[in-house]
Chains A and B, each alone.
Chain A
């Protein structure tokens, strides 16, 4: 037997013990599905939180001057909400996600299911980033668009809905999709609280087989392929958006 075929048969054995024995590949599939579930629902939660925060922050920025002059309780309510939103964003962006995840898991939602905890932790965190993406998007829309809406008689809210937000969604969509990609990779820390995500699946195989190379490379390839595919999709969407423009 020559060295090459010896090496090859060892490789085959490792492969079998890593993925085939006891259907261990199913862990990878389950882990991948969990990673996707956490990412998608966390992003949805993040979008909801982000839209609310961005609405508060940009309403304050846009109306502060005129509301101050007009006075009234609305101004103080908005000022308070804006302060809360700012604190929220600062806290969420200032603490590592893995620490936030552990706080949710071990302190706040102790009796809840694993995956919902991860969705809440990643979603509320992502909301802070989405909020700043949206706020940046709203602020980058020419104020003339807003003034034209108001001068026709639209309320602040109507102007946002008909004019500003449609343009913001379009301009921030690529950034939001990139946030989705970042979030997908970020969920790889879910294993810290015992969730079987893609990374954890590789870890579990390594723990049983004492083989590090193959399970970790497999995990790495799945992440890479997924991210490359998503990036391609983002590029296509970006190109579409640009073509519809001008």
Chain B
């Protein structure tokens, strides 16, 4: 006969009360893990997207700010054009150390000449690029050839077609970028020359021509000198060049971030309420359990169980229920987040990145430990009270 066996029997003995504690623990742990995953994941996503951009300022035609954010966050293609002379004008602004133009393109929807519909495509100029090139040099030993592309983590070559078709042009997927959780995961990057090749091929191979207006670009990526003030440089670009908007990347996704912050606040408040209620319920249930078993606890003491033994056996019982409930709650929460990911992203308006298995396990363990602590604290008061009571009193009717 061991203590753990007694605790297991007692935990499973009264099914209804056991289930209440189990359910409370599941709720406590599940809520903590799901809100952490979503909010932390969203924050990480935004952060990674910003890092991926790798520029201090993005200059785009006026009025396309919102759509650029959607393109970066959700992968909804944006189309905007401005004269390529803007690039030189931006480069002339004091404090600017590097500029590189980009073209924003997209695949066609519902056309067999494109493997993936409505994919956001970004063409960069290899000679000036400073955003993608460092990654390419590190991971692919050099830049992309004409006809090659790198994709976000969710871009893959359709198995039944064997090639990745863009306007009827077969692209060679040379590499995959790490996931960010954002729309960038479903975007592709290639060079200007590749873009022009695709445009040329589209005349004969695609149902619709890919149109790149001559001598135009979609955006200019800007790097600011380390001793210059980004905000000031942006203001000067704004003043010097009419018809464009300089977007400071560290101010991007401001709406999303504010929304995230208010979401965090309400989630914390909700969590507080749920935890308080759950702990109160557990305390009540344990008081009932302890009261019902008062006599038997008195008997245990008479048979030589120490106060601490009684206390330990009750806490062990709470821990067992909390463990079972916590693990279940966490598993259900993670599963639900995987299954309803798109729904949650739609509701929040912000994508979120689910951490890798190891990180996920660490978060899960953290949530489990929290729930365990909560349950033990709730069960502690009734358990301590009964263990301190005179055995003779405990044994009375």
The answer to whether A binds B is: no
